[in-house]
Structure 1
Amino acid sequence: MNYQKYQKMYHNVPLESRDWPSNELTKAPMWCSVDLRDGNQALYSPMTTDEKIEFFKFLVKLGFKEIEVGFPAASHTEFEFTRRLIDENIIPDDVSIQVLTQAREHIIKKTVEALKGAKNAIIHLYNSTSTLQRDVVFNKNKEEIKQLAVDGAKLVKSLVSGQLDGNIRYEYSPESFTCTEPDYAAEVTNAVLDVFEPSADNKVIVNLPSTIEVATANVYADQIEYMCKHLNNRENLIISVHAHNDRGTGVASSELALLAGADRVEGTIFGNGERTGNTDIITVALNMFCQGIDPELNIDNIDEIIEVFEKYNRLPIHPRHPYAGEMAYVAFSGSHQDAIKKSMDKFGQSPKNKWANPYLTIDPTDIGRKYEPILINSQSGKGGVSYVMENKYGYILPKPMLVEFADIVNRLSDEKKTVLTNHEIHQAFKDVYVNVAEPIKTRFYRSSEESEGTALSATIEFEGKVSSIEGRGNGPLDALCNGLRSYLKEDFEICNYTEHALERSSNSKAATYIAIKRGDNMYWGAGVDANINTASIYALISAVNRMLSK
């Protein structure tokens, strides 16, 4: 690979001191959805006007107060969509629509025309300022590019004053900001601000986009901090960031930019946008949420958001997507599964506890998800198996039995070379341990209490022969154990016994687990029945059958 054909595309940032690394996020930024502009223009099949209206309503439902609805001068469709939002009174009074316009006269005029009658709107003016765009695309020098921005701002301001009655705010973006010399970006932006005249009652949005991501996220943070320190009238500005994802760090760039002084984030749901996409607002918001910060968006039903997104964007959500992916809360590693289960058990015992989990940054139930998608494969351990058996089927296996069964599950998954379903795990447990009826099958048993203990008689079938056995002991189980030892001429003893109800109800079946020991070997069996004594008998017979089958 010819790496020598490439060079650094950003300019050094002359920061004398760097403050942002010491900062922490403590509150949510202002959010601006650009799904209907950046997102929609990047779709193979852009939304129809009716679809865009429905998607706009959904963005409002999510809590967005600023929504970029399009580029009205770009096409008749874009213009008519903006008009329908206004004419049909679809925009709530507390929501501002944002429209994009280049710093070109005919485009600005069409954009202002599209906003007539709007109660609250933002006119987003932009022109490209980067070295490459100046030299290759526009063939203009620095002064000419700055004048283009100033002339555009003057025209916007004069047309708004003469034609629009609503609450109209201004936004300016030096496009390709990250590839622009920092001092020149500040110079052009300050010239535009001189025209817009920001004040405490009429703040101006300065949007600093990484139109193309060309550096690590810390460089973007340096650029944002530089601008915050070199823009005039900073207290009356809203510093906005609009990060793309060309290097896969759009979320990180936005977060570090907030540390560096940004007040506002433009992005899209799940990061849809040109090329590799925009900042994923859902991820940024939930990153804040799991740090104890209110994201100030209504994102507690992630599956509904996915459903609407996929319906109108016709794009799938990656299964490994943070928070939203179908595998986001799945652990295959045995140690991970074990740690997740233990932490969830502890957290569940005391809901007042702060959330703490070694492998889950968020409680999935907070966004409408469940813990159930623990998947078991050959790399899984007893934690995942325990979780499935207890939470899906009610079995609380003794730890030594769980270790043995987890090994059986791993070998089964390895043989199948795939993930096992919950049903397959449950079926394997029943096949190996529960009410095992070969080679000994219990047909009938009866016990009675005598002065010296319990007497038990049973009818069993063994190797095709029906026989009666008798035994005495300290209870029915001990009596059966003694009877089987005598009949089989085998020396074994019960070394572990556990029982519990499978469900929390009066008619629940009982589950009993018994381990018997012969020499140095241990054999587990399980019994399930509505009668606890019968369940114990079945568990002992199951353990003995497993011993005889070895």
Structure 2
Amino acid sequence: MKASDINKYSPFQPVSLKDRKWPDRKLEHAPIWCSVDLRDGNQALPVPMNIDQKVRLFKKLVAIGFKEIEVGFPSASNTEFNFLRKLVEEDLIPDDVTVQVLVQAREPLIRRTFEALDGVKHAIVHLYNSTSKLQRRITFGNATKDEIKAIAVNGATLIKSLLDEVPDTNITLQYSPESFSDTEEDYAVEVCEAVMDVWQPTPEHKMILNLPSTVEWNMPNTYADQIEWFCRTIKNRESILVSLHTHNDRGTGIAATELGLLAGADRVEGTLFGNGERTGNLDLATLALNMNSHGIETGLDFSDIDAVRKIYEENTGMKVHERHPYAGELVFTAFSGSHQDAIKKGMDLREDEDTQWAVPYLTIDPVDIGRSYEAIIRINSQSGKGGVAYILKREFDYDLPKKMHPEVGLYINGLADQYGRELTFKEIMDEFQKEFVNRKDVIDLKKFEITKMTETKVLGEISLTYKGEKMELEARGNGPINSVVYALKQQGWKDFNVEQFRSHSIGHSSASLSVSYVQISLNSDPAMRFWGCGVHTSIRRSGVNALISAYNRAQVAKGKTG
């Protein structure tokens, strides 16, 4: 935005609330949840859902655990009306689920809405009209406050008179002063109390006052101040449920809801993954999982977030972004080397799954929402030594010595940089084996057989080819690796010292493999070190293979450097 354009905007005025209490509170329990995917979410779609799609999404919302679901605006179109009738006539609404219907404060729309409710067991009738100064001036042509209040009162009066037409339906009444966050606080209370005077809620039969941030004009702390001021000021607070309905124009819809709950609200309305007009509504999945990550039970089941995302995408035609909190394809994935190293260390230390979750860069355990560990670390040119080692360990059981990580990581990351893309797990393993495992470039070890072995002495026979020439050598030393070093020395090939050795097994059956790792340093330049890996059914042979691999890598490197 150009500096010359700034003057057309003005800051939002704060609420006068000197002794606000919400900043010192903490969330300890979940709110009442209401999904508005089938109405608010649906009206924001380029191609609205058809009835079958809405039914599939409704069933998923029920399965997740939503007990209040806004099913639409029955008076808006035949599709909306017929959808609710299908739910009723095919007995698709569980007895413990309340369906919510939205209606403007207009007589024909209200009457049509009540026709749609015939046979519903539990319903919320949600009445609304716009109350903000901006809406009064522009949408309603400079209507007065009394005229706008009269619209709400007249609608509420008609709804009350129609309750007897659905005697078998348990109805909860809800009113929204639309654009609440842009309405003068005292006027919002005045209109809400006028509706309360008509509906006469009691502590035993509460009504809902829904306070929308229809357009997110202000910062989330200001919205929280508005909610706390409202909760303090409204009469008969014990007879109402204060509900929040935030949008995301400033990108802080979730924050505004969380602070609004601290400020005293009881209930929230939102959509899966935040689908809604403009930048969207409150993201119910993110808010619920935020609470889960702080140890708060929500009553909502997002233990298979990918399945929820699949149903959502198939029926709305929308896509969940790769970086969307919790549900995105890449949100548990680290490409950065430093992140990968910290995650690997955290995962390695998690020996007891019953302990409190504490892994760097992962706010929750991906497994808890149905994600695997496969995608936690992925490798490209930005990745580090720990990431490659993590994948080799997690996916293929190769537990590299820590001092081997930099050499392997540098090699694999160099390939990713060369290819200009991410490497698959299979590619990482294939390249690791080609470069480090059972190398045969210079020395091709055909046979290593121990003929005599005591606690302090090993004698053996070696068959190999050296630069293509077949040879038979004697092995002699205080262990298998040392005996092979002796044989190489006798041929004048030993220009190195063995620095590190480690081994482990892969698998637990009789067919398990032994994996060994050996590091050597060159006599001519001790700073030049090379790791090799050996794999064999015999632990002795795997160690020898690792030595030969390290030696071959060193010889190839020497040849390339002169």
Secondary structure of 2:548's partner?
helix
**How far apart, CA to CA, are the structure 1 residues paired with 2:255 and 2:508?**
47
Residue among 520, 524, 536 paired with 2:531: 524
1:539 Cα deviation after fit? 1.2
Spell out, residue by residue over 1:47-88, the C-alpha distance to the aligned partner (whole angstroms, 9 max, x if none). Answer: 111221222122111111111011111111111112222232
Secondary structure of 2:508's partner?
coil
**How far apart, CA to CA, are the structure 1 residues paired with 2:503 and 2:14?**
70
Note the 1:298-317 alignment, pairs <5 A: 298-317=301-320
Q: Tell me which amino acid in the other structure corresponds to 1:400.
A: K
Note the 1:492-507 alignment, pairs <5 A: 492-507=496-511
Residue among 402, 405, 408 paired with 1:405: 408
Secondary structure of 1:256's partner?
helix
1:45 Cα deviation after fit? 1.6
Q: Does 1:287 align with 2:290?
A: yes
Note the 1:462-481 alignment, pairs <5 A: 462-481=466-485
Secondary structure of 2:349's partner?
helix
Note the 1:121-136 alignment, pairs <5 A: 121-136=123-138
Bigger shift: residues 109-118 or 280-289: 109-118
1:5 Cα deviation after fit? 5.0
1:298 Cα deviation after fit? 1.6
**How far apart, CA to CA, are the structure 1 residues paired with 2:382 and 2:212?**
44
Note the 1:359-370 alignment, pairs <5 A: 359-370=361-372
Bigger shift: residues 88-97 or 159-168: 159-168
Secondary structure of 1:485's partner?
helix
Contact 2:12–2:217 (8 Å) recurs in 1? yes
Residue among 118, 133, 146 paired with 1:116: 118
Q: Tell me which amino acid in the other structure corresponds to 2:537.
A: A
Q: Does 1:154 align with 2:157?
A: yes
Contact 1:485–1:492 (8 Å) recurs in 2? no
Query: What percentage of residue pairs aligned between the two structures are identical?
Result: 49
1:345 Cα deviation after fit? 2.0
Structure 1 residue runs without a partner (length 5+): none
Spell out, residue by residue over 1:200-237, the C-alpha distance to the aligned partner (whole angstroms, 9 max, x if none). Answer: 12101000001111111111111111111111110111
**How far apart, CA to CA, are the structure 2 residues paired with 1:12 and 1:446?**
84
Q: Does 1:232 align with 2:235?
A: yes
Secondary structure of 1:324's partner?
coil
1:444 Cα deviation after fit? 2.6
Q: Tell me which amino acid in the other structure corresponds to 2:364.
A: I
1:250 Cα deviation after fit? 1.1
Secondary structure of 2:389's partner?
helix
Secondary structure of 2:400's partner?
coil
TM-align CA RMSD: 1.5
Q: Does 1:457 align with 2:461?
A: yes
Task: Name the counterpart of 1:38.
Answer: 40
Task: Name the counterpart of 2:16.
Answer: 14
Contact 1:11–1:179 (8 Å) recurs in 2? no
1:361 Cα deviation after fit? 0.5
Bigger shift: residues 408-417 or 488-497: 488-497
**How far apart, CA to CA, are the structure 2 residues paired with 1:215 and 1:121?**
32
Contact 2:178–2:212 (8 Å) recurs in 1? yes
**How far apart, CA to CA, are the structure 2 residues paired with 1:58 and 1:524?**
53
Count of residue pairs the alignment pairs up: 549
**How far apart, CA to CA, are the structure 1 residues paired with 2:80 and 2:30?**
31
**How far apart, CA to CA, are the structure 2 residues paired with 1:525 and 1:120?**
70
Q: Tell me which amino acid in the other structure corresponds to 1:362.
A: I
Q: Tell me which amino acid in the other structure corresponds to 1:485.
A: K
Contact 2:379–2:423 (8 Å) recurs in 1? yes
**How far apart, CA to CA, are the structure 1 residues paired with 2:544 and 2:268?**
66
Question: 1:9/1:203 Cα in 2 relative to 1: closer, same or farther (>3 Å)?
Answer: farther
Secondary structure of 1:53's partner?
helix
Spell out, residue by residue over 1:185-205, the C-alpha distance to the aligned partner (whole angstroms, 9 max, x if none). Answer: 111111111111110121010
Bigger shift: residues 4-13 or 509-518: 4-13
Task: Name the counterpart of 2:329.
Answer: 326
Q: Tell me which amino acid in the other structure corresponds to 1:438.
A: D
Note the 1:375-390 alignment, pairs <5 A: 375-390=378-393
Task: Name the counterpart of 1:535.
Answer: 542
Q: Tell me which amino acid in the other structure corresponds to 2:207.
A: V
Bigger shift: residues 110-119 or 182-191: 110-119
Residue among 95, 103, 128 paired with 2:105: 103
Residue among 351, 355, 376 paired with 1:353: 355
Contact 1:115–1:164 (8 Å) recurs in 2? no
1:22 Cα deviation after fit? 0.7
**How far apart, CA to CA, are the structure 2 residues paired with 1:251 and 1:66?**
19
Note the 1:241-320 alignment, pairs <5 A: 241-320=244-323
**How far apart, CA to CA, are the structure 2 residues paired with 1:399 and 1:208?**
56
1:338 Cα deviation after fit? 1.4
1:10 Cα deviation after fit? 4.6
**How far apart, CA to CA, are the structure 2 residues paired with 1:108 and 1:184?**
24
Bigger shift: residues 251-260 or 440-449: 440-449
Q: Tell me which amino acid in the other structure corresponds to 2:395.
A: K
TM-score (norm 2): 0.95
1:446 Cα deviation after fit? 2.6
**How far apart, CA to CA, are the structure 2 residues paired with 1:100 and 1:5?**
38
Task: Name the counterpart of 1:193.
Answer: 196
**How far apart, CA to CA, are the structure 2 residues paired with 1:309 and 1:456?**
66
1:356 Cα deviation after fit? 1.0
Residue among 519, 523, 542 paired with 1:515: 519
Question: 1:80/1:491 Cα in 2 relative to 1: closer, same or farther (>3 Å)?
Answer: closer
**How far apart, CA to CA, are the structure 2 residues paired with 1:293 and 1:398?**
40
Bigger shift: residues 449-458 or 515-524: 449-458
Spell out, residue by residue over 1:130-155, the C-alpha distance to the aligned partner (whole angstroms, 9 max, x if none). Answer: 11110111121111111111111111
Q: Tell me which amino acid in the other structure corresponds to 1:475.
A: G
Question: 1:426/1:106 Cα in 2 relative to 1: closer, same or farther (>3 Å)?
Answer: same
Contact 2:497–2:522 (8 Å) recurs in 1? yes
1:162 Cα deviation after fit? 4.5
Secondary structure of 1:298's partner?
coil
Q: Tell me which amino acid in the other structure corresponds to 2:464.
A: I
Note the 1:55-70 alignment, pairs <5 A: 55-70=57-72
Residue among 35, 50, 53 paired with 2:52: 50
Residue among 25, 41, 59 paired with 1:23: 25
**How far apart, CA to CA, are the structure 2 residues paired with 1:10 and 1:236?**
31
